Amino acid sequence: MQTNLVLLITKQYFKKTFYSKGLFVLLSLFLILLTYITINSWSIFEKRHNSVVHHQKESRNSWESNPDKHPHRMAHFGSFVFRTQHPLSIFDSGIETYTGNSIFLEAHKQNTANFSEASLSTGLVRFGDLNVALLLQLILPLIIFFIGYASITSEKENGTLKIIYLQGATIKEILFGKALGLFLVAAVFFLPALISLWSISFLDSHTTNAEIITRTLIITLSYILFFIILCFVTVIISGKSKNSNKSLLRLLAIWLLFFIIIPKTAQVVGNTIYPNLSKIEFNEAIETEIAKQGDSHNPNDPYFNNIRDSILKANNVTSVKDLPFNYSGFLMSKGEEQTAKIFNKQHKKLIQTYKKQNSIANRLVLFNPYLAIKNVSMGFSGTDFYTYTNFLSQTEAYRYKQSQYMNHLQMKFISNNAKGSEGKINVVEKSYWKAIPQFSYHYLPVLDTIKHQLISLAALGLWLLLSVIIINYFSNHFKII
Amino acid sequence: MYILLIKHFFRSKTVVLAFSLLMLLGMLSIGSGKQFLNQKKIAITKTIEQQKKHIKTQRKYNKDDIGLLSYYLKFSFLKPLEPLAAISMGQSDLNTDIQNVSIVALEGQKHNTDLVNPMRQQVGNLDISFLIIFLFPLVIIALNFNLLSEEEEKGTWKMIKIQSKSSFKFLITKLSIRLLFISMTLGILFLIASFILEIPFTESFLDIILMSYLYIIFWFALCFFVILLRKSSNTNAIILLASWLTLVVFLPIFINNYINKTYPIEEAFSMVIKQRDAYHKKWDTDKKETLNRFYEHYPHLKKYGYKTEGFSWLWYYAMQQLGDDDSKEEREALYNKIKKREALSKKMAQFFPPLQLQLSMNEIAKTSLTNHINFLDATVKFHEDIRLDIYPKVFEKHHPDTVDFEKHKPKFFRAEDNFSLSKNSFSTILITLFLICFGVFKNLKYFK
């Protein structure tokens, strides 16, 4: 294959396409849209971020302003976590719209994350989110198909393909040249979008540099890969079609199938095959298991009676009143330990079921590069499923720590003669409220995301390889006439 | 002639492909709708069973203290889904339709969500409404875009003009065959759906069917209009696809974004904080004042007096009550915003048939956001009824064994029906008529 010939065809195709009037209109529209979307998403992100920070502070201030109290009262006072989003969610909001934004963390009770943006939106939310990734994942492919569908067929129809061939260019060179040319045209569209992505990662001050730049780099490379694949596919389909009309219809069918129907169907089928427990069943499962273990709120429970007897023995006393620490605090800390374990077990099961539901779509990344880029983009923008479940486990870990902290304060400072948690008698000094650190959310480390998205990254690589092989094979069997 | 045209039409590959695609996805959507309904049904039976079991267990654990027992007992309020919800699932997978509340402050309980995979929520539902709104227009476009231009490009149009009495009639005939085909396909889908999903032919179902047919006619009118612009097949395809992309993909996204930006909801956060603080901080304030405020809300309970020494359940439940009362302002602000969002959505959707159809379908199937808010409002009433029944028993320290908690069976929410077909279809009819008239008018000279 002669490189300079390929480049010649590339240059010719790029020039011809780029200087057409239609493309100019399309490009301007795209750029206006891109600018608007970037500014819009950014301002929404900043507003939401400020609101989260503001309310988080308000909630914490109110926590710290509590007077001297019985620690169990504080355990139920609880704290709120309002979810902060990753800055790259400006670029790709992933499942962000659908995940709960506020979660209440209190003793021996695991609450759900509530108030997702979608749950407060009208029925129009089901069509998708306005962000740059939408342009790159759904719209630009369509544009590439529209620009490139006639790349080979028009030469066939005009009879120029034969002339180029006779002048010494092989089919392989023509195909690669056209694909490269198409890619360059596509680059005029996606480079500004990637600039918008990089500007987010440079101008944002909410995260560390190295982390966000790694993410941005991987996203950038993946998208470039994705568009190369698309350009190859377009040229192959154009080469295989008899005329431009057929080629356009085929490409549109591909878009519909691969970008809309397969992703949707895969997820729906996944949910149908692996249904998850409803909340009522989930709570029932936990309740039954806790009932098996014993209930720390019940003084006559055999399981907790056993604990009591061994504790009395170990401390060489006959009554819980003589223990060197507050017995009900101790009991509650044991209870918390048990229920948290049971909850975590059930919750893990639930997440496993979700993962199974997703597995159909996740396996299809090998056959559908759109699903691959969607996963990669979401994952590295910190808006995917794993980031969310990781957030949930972080909040649960904090909830557990907070409750146990209060239980230990109770063990240490509250007398065994205390009855109830009311009033100013059995209290702990308020400085202890400040002493427990605030919840601080850590984004999922980028290495973990790489691990989760390895198959999608590999799929993109494989598709690139595959499309090169197909072009090679196809050009050997190409019929010019 | 007509039969010949029909034969010709059904021989084309596109038709077979379109029909099988629509049927396949139709079956899938009906299947997933069936499963959706089944899951909800199971959840309802489970809830009824669970409440019985739950009351029994809690009675066992809290034998003597009615205050404590009442603290743990949870009562269910359910929103049963109509079979129509399977046709248009709307927001019903985002918002729970089972409330499980105890008599403590309600605000902290009623917004709890159900357990749904967010990935599923993101890709959205594959229900019949999606099929009709999203895919049917594409098939209509694929069948119609080259109706006239193909004949012109092949050179057959001139022959038709010479041979047939009216070339306009010929075009209408061709179009009507396609309309018939799509109508039949849609009709079959509705029939199968009504059979499998057990939907009775009520007025609501008929409204959905009528709205859907109107929507399809709108797309035919649009195609008709574009065909009569007399451009090449390629141009037609691009114009129609661009219209589809704008109407079905871009506009809803833009409008949704605009609405959420116009009415940002921060009140949700303020409300939950306020509710927590309002209750918990009462532990440290004057008991008498708390009780006073409680009696202000429920004067008929004043007879229970002002016992301020030590802990009492009266005081405890008064504090809980004030958690709800004090966050009322934020709650109302939140609901107001939601109502504004819904109103603005409806207003803007009027001008765009796909959006109007989606919102109408959700409204008819009772899966809209407003419907959920109505359910939440009804939950407040449900919660109050139970509270007011249990309060005196707790305050008078009845023994738990003498109190009939079992009489509080799970209750069902009844949604009101106030969908108006004429109001919701008016603008679509108008747009459709305009498109047809304009197309005909511009081409009067061609058709004699």
Locate B117 and state its tokens.
């995979």
Q: Which residue in this structure is represented by tokens 């002493």?
A: A435
Interface of B with A in 220-259 (CB under 8 A): 233-234, 237-238, 241, 245, 248-249, 252-257, 259
Q: What residue in B sits closest to A126 (Cα-Cα)?
A: B124
CA–CA separation, A449 and A471 (whole Å): 33
Answer whether B160 touches A (CB < 8 Å).
no
Locate A47 and state its tokens.
């507003």
Q: What residue in B sits closest to A347 (Cα-Cα)?
A: B115
pLDDT greater than 90 at residue B199: yes
Which of A58, A121, A354 lies closest to B273 in CB terms? A58
Say whether pTM exceeds 0.80: yes
B16, B29, B123, B342: which to substitute to probe chain A, counting the most A Cβ within 10 Å? Answer: B123
Test B120 with A51 for CB contact under 8 angstroms.
Answer: no
Max CA-CA distance within chain A? 105
Which of A120, A350, A422 lies closest to B115 in CB terms? A350
Test B25 with A249 for CB contact under 8 angstroms.
Answer: no
ipTM: 0.90
Provide the pLDDT confidence category of residue A297 given band limits of 50, 70 and 90: low
pLDDT greater than 60 at residue B448: no
Nearest chain A Cα distance for residue B423, angstroms: 18
Test A271 with B118 for CB contact under 8 angstroms.
Answer: no
Test B54 with A67 for CB contact under 8 angstroms.
Answer: no
- Average pLDDT, integer, range A255-281: 90
> Do residues A219 and A376 touch, judged by C-beta distance below 8 A?
yes
Which of B115, B283, B311 lies closest to A282 in CB terms? B115
pLDDT greater than 70 at residue A165: yes
pLDDT at res. B187:
96
> Do residues B78 and B410 touch, judged by C-beta distance below 8 A?
yes
**pLDDT tens-digit series, residues A345-359:** 999 999 999 999 999
**pLDDT tens-digit series, residues B229-252:** 888 887 888 889 889 989 998 899
pLDDT at res. A479:
76
**pLDDT tens-digit series, residues A269-296:** 998 899 998 888 898 888 888 878 766 5
pLDDT at res. B12:
80
> Do residues B234 and A248 touch, judged by C-beta distance below 8 A?
yes
Q: To 5 degrees, how large is the angle CA B252–CA B257–CA B263?
A: 125
Contacting residues for B158 by C-beta, under 8 A, at least 6 apart: none
Kindly state the percentage of chain B with pLDDT values over 90: 53
pLDDT greater than 90 at residue B23: yes
Chain B residues close to A104, C-beta within 8 Å: 108, 272, 276
CA-based nearest residue to A91, from A154, A125, A137, A50? A137
Chain B residues close to A299, C-beta within 8 Å: none
CA-based nearest residue to B117, from B39, B181, B208? B39
Nearest chain A Cα distance for residue B88, angstroms: 10
pLDDT at res. A208:
67
Mean pLDDT (chain B) is 89
Q: What residue in A sits closest to B246 (Cα-Cα)?
A: A139
CA–CA separation, B267 and B340 (whole Å): 14
- Average pLDDT, integer, range B211-233: 93
Which of B28, B35, B359 lies closest to A123 in CB terms? B359
List beta partners, residue B69. none
- Average pLDDT, integer, range A305-322: 86
Q: Name the 3-class secondary structure at A104.
A: strand
> Do residues A5 and A167 touch, judged by C-beta distance below 8 A?
no
Nearest chain A Cα distance for residue B165, angstroms: 31
CA–CA separation, A463 and B341 (whole Å): 43
> Do residues A41 and A93 touch, judged by C-beta distance below 8 A?
yes
> Do residues A77 and B281 touch, judged by C-beta distance below 8 A?
no
pLDDT greater than 70 at residue A169: yes
Contacting residues for B85 by C-beta, under 8 A, at least 6 apart: B36, B37, B40, B92, B365, B366, B367
Locate B264 and state its tokens.
């940002």
Q: How far is CA A361 from CA A258, A454, A455, in A?
A: 12, 15, 12
User: φ, ψ for residue A116 (rounded to 5)?
Assistant: -75, 155
Test A281 with B273 for CB contact under 8 angstroms.
Answer: no
> Do residues B310 and A422 touch, judged by C-beta distance below 8 A?
yes
Nearest chain A Cα distance for residue B442, angstroms: 26
Which of B98, B120, B138 lies closest to A280 in CB terms? B98
- Greatest mean pLDDT range, A378-387, B260-269, B297-306: A378-387
B134, B269, B320, B372: which to substitute to probe chain A, counting the most A Cβ within 10 Å? Answer: B269
Q: Which strands form A102-106's sheet, in the order they lie side by side?
A: A79-82, A102-106, A109-110
Nearest chain A Cα distance for residue B145, angstroms: 12
> Do residues A474 and A175 touch, judged by C-beta distance below 8 A?
yes
Contacting residues for A393 by C-beta, under 8 A, at least 6 apart: none
pLDDT at res. A294:
67
Which of B95, B118, B253 lies closest to A99 in CB terms? B118
Test A128 with B32 for CB contact under 8 angstroms.
Answer: no
Nearest chain B Cα distance for residue A130, angstroms: 6
B47, B232, B257, B309: which to substitute to probe chain A, counting the most A Cβ within 10 Å? Answer: B257
Nearest chain A Cα distance for residue B203, angstroms: 22
Test B126 with A264 for CB contact under 8 angstroms.
Answer: yes
Q: What residue in A sits closest to B57 (Cα-Cα)?
A: A291
Chain B residues close to A125, C-beta within 8 Å: 256
Q: Output b/e per residue, B165-192; b: 16+ Cβ within 10 A.
A: eebbebbeebbebbbebbbebbeebbee
Test A98 with B25 for CB contact under 8 angstroms.
Answer: no
Test B39 with A275 for CB contact under 8 angstroms.
Answer: yes
Mean pLDDT (chain A) is 90
pLDDT at res. A341:
93
B98, B107, B122, B269: which to substitute to probe chain A, counting the most A Cβ within 10 Å? Answer: B122
Answer whether B123 touches A (CB < 8 Å).
yes
Test A123 with B358 for CB contact under 8 angstroms.
Answer: yes
pLDDT at res. A298:
62
Test A58 with B39 for CB contact under 8 angstroms.
Answer: no
Chain B residues close to A277, C-beta within 8 Å: 115
> Do residues B279 and A77 touch, judged by C-beta distance below 8 A?
no
| The pairing of beta strand A109-110 with beta strand B98-101 | unpaired
Kindly state the percentage of chain A with pLDDT values over 90: 60
Sign of the dihedral through C-alpha B346, B351, B355, B357 = positive
CA–CA separation, A453 and A375 (whole Å): 7
List beta partners, residue B101. B75
Nearest chain B Cα distance for residue A125, angstroms: 6
pLDDT at res. A272:
87
A280, A346, A370: which to substitute to probe chain B, counting the most B Cβ within 10 Å? Answer: A280
Chain B residues close to A385, C-beta within 8 Å: 118-119
Interface of B with A in 269-308 (CB under 8 A): 269-270, 272-273, 276-277, 280-281, 283-284
pLDDT greater than 60 at residue A184: yes
Q: How far is CA A345 from CA A350, A351, A352, B46, in A?
A: 9, 10, 11, 22
Chain B residues close to A252, C-beta within 8 Å: 241
Provide the pLDDT confidence category of residue A219 given band limits of 50, 70 and 90: very high
pLDDT greater than 90 at residue A406: yes
Chain B residues close to A295, C-beta within 8 Å: 61
> Do residues B391 and B67 touch, judged by C-beta distance below 8 A?
no
Q: Which residue in this structure is represented by tokens 């992100």?
A: A45
- Average pLDDT, integer, range A370-399: 96
Distance, CA of A413 to chain centre: 44
CA–CA separation, B350 and B423 (whole Å): 10
A206: left (phi over 0), alpha (psi -120 to 50) or beta: alpha
Contacting residues for A203 by C-beta, under 8 A, at least 6 apart: none
pLDDT greater than 90 at residue A376: yes
Test A120 with B234 for CB contact under 8 angstroms.
Answer: no
Contacting residues for B192 by C-beta, under 8 A, at least 6 apart: B26, B27, B30
Which of B245, B283, B369 lies closest to A122 in CB terms? B369
Chain B residues close to A121, C-beta within 8 Å: 91, 256, 259-260, 341, 369
pLDDT at res. A407:
94
Provide the pLDDT confidence category of residue B447 given band limits of 50, 70 and 90: low
- Residue B285, number of CB atoms within 10 A of its CB: 11
pLDDT at res. B16:
87
CA atoms within 13 A on the CB side of A44: 27
Test A51 with B121 for CB contact under 8 angstroms.
Answer: no
Q: How far is CA B424 from CA B195, B204, B368, in A?
A: 27, 13, 15
Answer whether B80 touches A (CB < 8 Å).
no
Chain A residues close to B252, C-beta within 8 Å: 124, 127-128
pLDDT greater than 80 at residue B64: yes
**pLDDT tens-digit series, residues B373-418:** 999 999 999 999 999 999 999 999 999 999 999 999 899 999 888 8
pLDDT at res. A367:
94
pLDDT greater than 80 at residue B67: yes
Locate B161 and state its tokens.
């003009």
